[in-house]
Amino acid sequence: MRVRRGLLFWGLFLIPLGGISLLVRAGAVDPDRLSEAWRLWPLILIGIGLAILLGPGRTAVVGTAIVAVVLGSVGGAAIASGHLWIGALSDCAVASGPTDQQLQRSGSFDRSAAVRLDLRCGSLALTTTTGSQWKLDAAYRGTGPIVDASGSRLDLRVSGGGGERRNDWTVSLPSAVGVLSITANGATATLQFPDGHVASLDVDMNAGDLRIDATHGAVDVVDLSMNAGRIRLDAGSSVLGGDVSVNAGAFDLCV
């Protein structure tokens, strides 16, 4: 019987790609244990080497099988876990170094404000506190973030262009926020609203991990979008409405 190596590759690639995600959804595998799956990449080189040494014969199928299974497993782990190393495979790969610079800014809002955060390659820790003050503590590598603030809005974003960069932001906002809009690529974000009220929360992330704790605060409307990552939402007794969209990832909801 002649083995078609192309079909064999795709079959062995797709099985772990989907199977690992199903195991995580069923609770059989802890997604946090999958964050180091990328370390299996040397097996791909071994499989390619075996395929070259064994030539076009049937025995070369062993190398093809190794490459397909490892690639499928790594891809399945990336989709199921939603950890930052997904983004590290793209333009965030040069951001792996530690941060070496600091930026601190603060101000106040005279009414319910509009806040927009645009992050690439890094992390965001955001919380609300009583009063009208906002505060930013940014650790970064490469080009620093751009802060544009007034009495009714806060616009925080990374600068354009390439090069080595990483941004780790700790943001504190007033207890009342009108619109909170977050865009993040290759990042992790933890949002906590212990005693705050957010009228509208809009988050658009790619290749990341988003955790929202609104068990004690109030979020009226949410619009969450995730590509290749994971969303974990803890909702309290506040009335919650909106939309959630997840593509190639996972969504956990606790009410």
Strands 133-141 and 101-108, bridge-based pairing:
antiparallel
CB neighbours (10 Å) of residue 186? Answer: 26
Please check the confidence at residue 247 and state whether its pLDDT lies above 70. yes
Task: Quote the CA–CA distance of 199 and 194 in Å, as a whole number.
Answer: 15
Please check the confidence at residue 211 and state whether its pLDDT lies above 80. yes
* Mean pLDDT within 115-139: 93
pTM over 0.85, yes/no: no
Please check the confidence at residue 239 and state whether its pLDDT lies above 70. no
pLDDT tens for 65-115 read 888 888 888 777 776 655 444 444 445 654 456 778 999 999 998 878 899
pLDDT tens for 38-52 read 667 677 778 777 777
Question: What average pLDDT does the chain have?
Answer: 81
Max CA separation in the chain (angstroms): 77
Task: Quote the CA–CA distance of 196 and 173 in Å, as a whole number.
Answer: 9
Task: Quote the CA–CA distance of 90 and 206 in Å, as a whole number.
Answer: 11
Q: Are 229 and 205 in contact (CB under 8 A)?
A: yes
- Give the pLDDT score at 100: 82
Give the pLDDT band (50/70/90) at residue 53.
confident
Alpha carbon 32 to its chain's center: 13
Q: Are 102 and 141 in contact (CB under 8 A)?
A: no
Cα angle value 227/230/236 (rounded, 5°): 125
- Give the pLDDT score at 90: 46
pLDDT tens for 140-186 read 988 889 999 998 999 999 876 555 578 999 999 998 899 999 999 88
Task: Quote the CA–CA distance of 22 and 76 in Å, as a whole number.
Answer: 9
pLDDT tens for 55-72 read 666 666 777 788 888 888
